[in-house]
């Protein structure tokens, strides 16, 4: 199948296989963009894949002062994990080590309506060594923890919601330069999509994986069907003209958010040098959420 004004890009008849996750949403604010960016970078570090990382993290979008609880510049961060207990620990650790340490920041719960709540400031308050103070605003409680530039304001509890991790598509290009250009267009388009993050470096994965390994104890290993250097040695899934593949992985707050982001990203990637768009399909072994590329793109054009 081809789509758009460039019929040379083949949209393959396959689906991306994703899995259920739990997620939190933090609103982080700071005095200016310099310190806000510093907080975002630090919090989201080492947050690409739960295969090894404690959580998958990323910037959802920046917020104008009119849309933040304290009227300052802000950022909405999404954090994904497999269960509430591990996710709660990850959010607490990252907030304490990466946000409380960053000058001028404050942290608020971004999932106010969820029934499931987990402690955040309720545990971090002990850093105040007895000098911390609580503040009640309506039905929300905050903690004011004394620090060396004033106070660190953090919400008592955060909401935990049901999300999806692992929505994805594979960009197969004629060469590395055209592949890099394509995925940069894709991630720029996806950045405008609400409710999603692309947790890998620059939103892109070069070391795509398959389930399992020849080595005992490894749950994942290199996706050899998509490695150009292994063409002729393994059963290749590469387009005949592809010499470079990049994967874009998308986590989101629900199926519709991820599907919309995938469609934007795929549409942006299409060019004469992108020969095919595929997806990570594991025969139903990885997850129950299936994003069929043809269906996503057909719905996009309706």
What is the arithmetic mean of pLDDT over 9-37?
Answer: 97
What does the pLDDT read at residue 211?
85
| Residue 301 clears pLDDT 70, i.e. is over it | no
Taking only the tens place, the pLDDT of each residue in 51-65 is: 999 999 999 999 999
Share of the chain above pLDDT 90, in %: 89
| Residue 2 clears pLDDT 90, i.e. is over it | no
What is the arithmetic mean of pLDDT over 37-44?
Answer: 98
In the structure encoding, which two tokens stand for residue 69, read together? 């609880």
**144 backbone dihedrals φ, ψ, rounded to 5°:** -110, 105
What does the pLDDT read at residue 8?
79
| Residue 296 clears pLDDT 60, i.e. is over it | yes
Q: What average pLDDT does the structure give for the chain?
A: 94
In the structure encoding, which two tokens stand for residue 146, read together? 């004394």
| List of domains in the chain | 10-18+163-301 (3.30.70.520), 22-161 (3.30.70.520)
| Residue 266 clears pLDDT 90, i.e. is over it | yes
pTM of this structure: 0.93
Are the C-beta atoms of 199 and 278 separated by less than 8 Å?
Answer: no
Instruction: Say what angle helices 293-301 and 255-269 make with each other, to 10 degrees.
Output: 80
Q: Lowest mean pLDDT: which of 43-47, 86-90, 215-219, 238-242?
A: 215-219
């Amino acid at each position: 199948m081809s789509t758009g004004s460039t019929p040379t890009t083949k949209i393959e008849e396959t689906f991306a296989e994703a899995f259920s996750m739990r997620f939190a949403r933090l609103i982080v604010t700071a005095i200016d963009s310099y310190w806000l960016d510093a907080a975002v970078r630090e919090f989201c570090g080492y947050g690409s894949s739960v295969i090894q990382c404690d959580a998958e993290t990323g910037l959802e979008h920046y917020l104008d002062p009119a849309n933040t609880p304290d009227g300052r510049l802000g950022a909405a961060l999404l954090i994904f994990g497999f269960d509430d207990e591990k996710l709660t620990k990850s959010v607490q650790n990252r907030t304490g080590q990466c946000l409380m340490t960053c000058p001028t920041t404050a942290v608020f719960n971004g999932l106010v309506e969820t029934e499931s709540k987990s402690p955040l400031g309720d545990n971090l308050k002990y850093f105040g060594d007895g000098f911390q103070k609580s503040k009640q605003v309506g039905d929300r409680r905050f903690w004011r923890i004394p620090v060396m530039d004033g106070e660190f304001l953090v919400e008592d509890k955060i909401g935990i919601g049901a999300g999806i991790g692992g929505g994805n598509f594979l960009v197969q290009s004629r060469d590395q330069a055209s592949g890099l250009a394509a995925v940069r267009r894709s991630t720029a388009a996806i950045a405008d999509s609400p409710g999603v993050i692309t947790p890998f470096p620059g939103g892109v994965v070069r070391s795509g994986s398959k389930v399992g390994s020849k080595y005992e104890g490894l749950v994942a290993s290199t996706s050899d069907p998509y490695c150009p250097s292994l063409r002729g040695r393994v059963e290749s899934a590469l387009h005949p003209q592809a010499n470079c593949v990049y994967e874009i992985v998308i986590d989101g707050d629900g199926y519709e958010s991820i599907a919309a982001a995938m469609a934007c990203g795929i549409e942006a990637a299409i060019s004469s040098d992108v020969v095919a768009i595929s997806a990570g399909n594991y025969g139903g072994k990885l997850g129950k959420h299936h994003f069929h590329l043809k269906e996503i793109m057909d719905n996009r054009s309706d």
